[in-house]
Structure 1
Amino acid sequence: MDMKEFKTARMDKQTMIITIIVLFFLILFPISSFFFYPPKPVISITSIILMYGAIIIAYCFIPRRIAVSDSQILIKNVFGSAIININEIESLQRWNKVGFNLRTFGIGGLFGYFGYFNGKDSWYVTNIEKKVQIALKSGKKYILSPENPEEFIHTIQQRSIENAPS
């Protein structure tokens, strides 16, 4: 089995700015709460745990591995893996849409865009300018951002042709 690895795209400028602003707030607010008068240490400690926990959880959603085998695509982050069978792909394309997307359940900006958007689309996006949409025959869609989208698409198309029934 020949496995081809793809790097997750580096954050685009907009995502980087959102990440810096949100990190600034999430890091400084809990620390500043120690200077409130009268002191409320329970609130201060709870806010540190919640906000620093949010940072760690968001960071763990970044795909650590994107790989394409002869028959599957693997998208892996700290919490688990998504496996897409190449023979179930209906369409595969660069997805340049940058407009409004409804976040159903997920992270929208801190280190990227991860989770469910527009109902049931699964996003693994760190760069909104390098998105690839994988639509399955079942109607499910995956949006991800490999560093080199054209090479990623070409690799999957080649594997799809090689595995097509004769």
Structure 2
Amino acid sequence: MLVIRNFEEYKSYLGKEIGVSKWHKIDQHQINKFADATLDHQWIHVDKERAEKEGPFSATIAHGYLTLSLIPYLWKQIADVQNIKMEINYGIEQFKFGQAVVVDSEVQLKAKLKSIVNLRGTTKVIIEATLIIKDHAKPAYTGDVIFLYHFI
């Protein structure tokens, strides 16, 4: 895991891959819990028998927003940003879903520092995020995640 202690250390990774997370398996239990939390019980996500018979993937798939919601968890495996008073999830931009994540697939986040600026003491970073699906050439998604940091 990369340790970042200040703005200058962060800036030294501009244009570079910061790292990749560990693999995370998305199982049916996690999909069902997400469906309950978001009230999105579409059959393609939660009805195993129907998905196997009628679905295009012959199995249930993770919600796209479930895969997006993994970003903070997976990001913390890539970088430990220290000496901060606060970290804010500021936004996401230009996300494209490229491939469905079938139940029991393993995914990992790849992160590249696309941009970093100091806005009067607030560090704004744009991370190019790619969610890789194990044993698949095409990623689940790509897009930009924006974080704000207030370094001490």
Q: Scaled by the length of structure 1, what TM-score is found?
A: 0.27
Structure with greater proportional strand content = 2
Higher relative contact order (CA 8 A, sep 6+): 2
Q: Which protein shows a greater Rg?
A: 1
Which of the two has greater helix per residue? Answer: 1
